[in-house]
């Protein structure tokens, strides 16, 4: 009985330490909302490699994504803006 109690206390302390460590680590950078959209929306007609091989300015990405819409890409205006923003930032680095 006593042993079980000690084990429980140890477990509680271990959990507190683990949780404490986790929160003290620097937060991982939040991924751009456009990233997941590109991964899901831009890999249906062609490979994502096609997108990753391209390195364009914001203007060209705007034109290119509009071309994809003409080709049949289903995307809302808000999602389109996020996709263009993500790709433009990615290629400006």
Distance between CA atoms of residues 73 and 66, nearest Å: 9
Choose which of 13, 16, 54, 89 interacts with ligand HEC (CB under 6 A).
54
What does DSSP assign to residue 26? P
Question: Least distance (Å) from ligand HEC to the CB of residue 60?
Answer: 8
Please tell me whether residue 88 binds ligand HEC under the rule CB under 6 A.
no
Question: Least distance (Å) from ligand HEC to the CB of residue 73?
Answer: 4
- φ/ψ bin of 57: left (φ > 0), alpha (ψ from -120 to 50), beta (otherwise): beta
CA–CA distance from 38 to each of 17, 18, 56, 79 (Å)?
A: 38, 35, 15, 9
Please tell me whether residue 29 binds ligand HEC under the rule CB under 6 A.
no
Residues of this chain that bind ligand HEC (CB under 6 A): 38, 41-42, 44-46, 50-51, 54, 64-65, 67-68, 71-73, 83
């Amino acid at each position: 009985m006593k042993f079980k109690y000690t084990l429980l206390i140890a477990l509680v302390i271990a959990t507190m330490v683990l949780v404490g460590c986790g929160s003290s680590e620097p937060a991982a950078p939040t991924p751009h909302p456009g990233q997941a959209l590109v991964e899901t929306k831009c890999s249906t007609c062609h490979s994502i490699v096609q997108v990753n091989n391209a390195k364009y300015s914001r203007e060209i990405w705007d034109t290119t994504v509009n071309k994809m819409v003409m080709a049949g890409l289903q995307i809302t205006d808000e999602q389109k803006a996020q996709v263009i923003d993500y790709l433009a930032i990615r290629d400006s680095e």
